[in-house]
Structure 1
């Protein structure tokens, strides 16, 4: 299976690529700064590194990039610096998601391509009822006003939910919502839920980046797991925490 990963130089993106390589997939990565990648990757026969900014690629280049891919995974995000949060491109995740999906549709592949988007528990799945407190609603409104990356993540998820939808012939999708991300060296037990089981603002849980990567890779690799969560926005928590 051939998988394209964008955002591969980020903390979770690197973990996802590592998981996909362990599963013996052929992996393409698009990165602006290849020097940020592990040195060992450069000797991998099943890894193709494309040095570019995903939004700088032309439509035809994007179509060529996805034309032989069975899955596309996005771990794109904004750097936690002033420039990263308030500079351009403000709609990095949304625009990349739209353009990649358009490229997939233009390729007219025989089977739907899987699209896995890493997102956040701060965004609700408005296809189902996910009640949150008034206090959390107020904080989320402030986040949308003050933090452009939060708006970007929400719009990317909404695009898949409303524009790609549940019955698209070209693209099938899952939006993975981790809670508070932490670093760990090994995959550990984790749990998946259709919706948050705790407040993302006032009682956030934790999940390791490697666990998020393991789940995303498993979605791509496991047909039954994909069937379970296709068209949904599952939430992931590490199991070793008190609810």
Structure 2
């Protein structure tokens, strides 16, 4: 499967497709991947969006378009999804689940098996562990629709049959990275937390070369 071993971990310096490459975390993933010597393809909505992704191969297309995804996936070893969506207190938000469903279908068609997908604290069984402000105010008032879609997105990934890892960052910030994070699946007693986008990018890229969190959903925090 495109230079991918049977257990799902690509060989050294894989070719990586980044979805959501123009977001705050996605740009850092692209930059760090290039620094590691990976071949990086970034799927962007318009040519102008990829101007500062120097060193990456830019493919223009909609992340919900299966044909565009298949074109971007050709020859890849792994996919990182860093898709995000703005707050939407009142309207349904289908972007994440729609794009992820299209991505899974395209990955199967192109025989690319490794997927690392960023969602967030508050998704799935991490709900209720974000601290008072996130759990009681921000999520119910501003992000309820977004997180309903994140939950749909996670379900699609879990049912995909791919070699997946779901990464749930704590509250994101733009501070310099610490170089390390705590990765948790037992959230008993955990409430709150934050982590830099730089450290999230580093953790996500690390997953491409390891099975440590294969088919698991770690919450990452400082």
Report the counterpart of residue 211 of structure 2 in structure 1: 227
Alpha-carbon distance in structure 2 between the residues aligned to 1:21 and 1:2 = 10
Alpha-carbon distance in structure 1 between the residues aligned to 2:165 and 2:43 = 20
Out of 62, 74, 77, which is 1:53 matched to? Answer: 62
The answer as to whether partners of 2:121 and 2:127 remain within 8 angstroms in 1 is: no
Q: Would you say 1:152 and 2:136 are equivalent positions?
A: no
Residue-by-residue CA offset, 1:209-236 (whole Å, 9 max, x unaligned)? 010000000111x2xxx31110000111
Report the counterpart of residue 77 of structure 2 in structure 1: 70
Q: Would you say 1:93 and 2:84 are equivalent positions?
A: no
Q: TM-score, normalised by structure 1?
A: 0.74
Report the counterpart of residue 118 of structure 1 in structure 2: 118
Alpha-carbon distance in structure 1 between the residues aligned to 2:163 and 2:82 = 17
Give the alignment's Cα RMSD to 1 decimal: 2.9
Alpha-carbon distance in structure 2 between the residues aligned to 1:67 and 1:144 = 41
The answer as to whether partners of 1:175 and 1:233 remain within 8 angstroms in 2 is: yes
Unaligned runs of 5+ in 2: 1-13
What is the number of equivalent residue pairs in this alignment?
205
Residue-by-residue CA offset, 1:160-216 (whole Å, 9 max, x unaligned)? 22x22xxx3xx21000011110112345331111243555xxx41010001000000
Report the counterpart of residue 27 of structure 1 in structure 2: 40
Structure number with larger C-alpha Rg: 1
**How many angstroms does 1:131 deviate by?**
9.2
Are the structure 2 counterparts of residues 15 and 172 from structure 1 closer, same or farther at C-alpha, using a change threshold of 3 Å?
A: same
Alpha-carbon distance in structure 2 between the residues aligned to 1:91 and 1:213 = 24
Matches within 5 A, 1:1-243: 1-37=14-50, 39=52, 41-42=53-54, 44=55, 47-55=56-64, 57=65, 59-80=66-87, 90-107=93-110, 109=111, 113-125=113-125, 139=136, 143=140, 147-161=144-158, 163-164=159-160, 168=161, 171-196=162-187, 198-199=189-190, 203-220=191-208, 222=209, 226-238=210-222
The answer as to whether partners of 2:122 and 2:128 remain within 8 angstroms in 1 is: no
Alpha-carbon distance in structure 2 between the residues aligned to 1:186 and 1:38 = 25
The answer as to whether partners of 2:41 and 2:57 remain within 8 angstroms in 1 is: yes
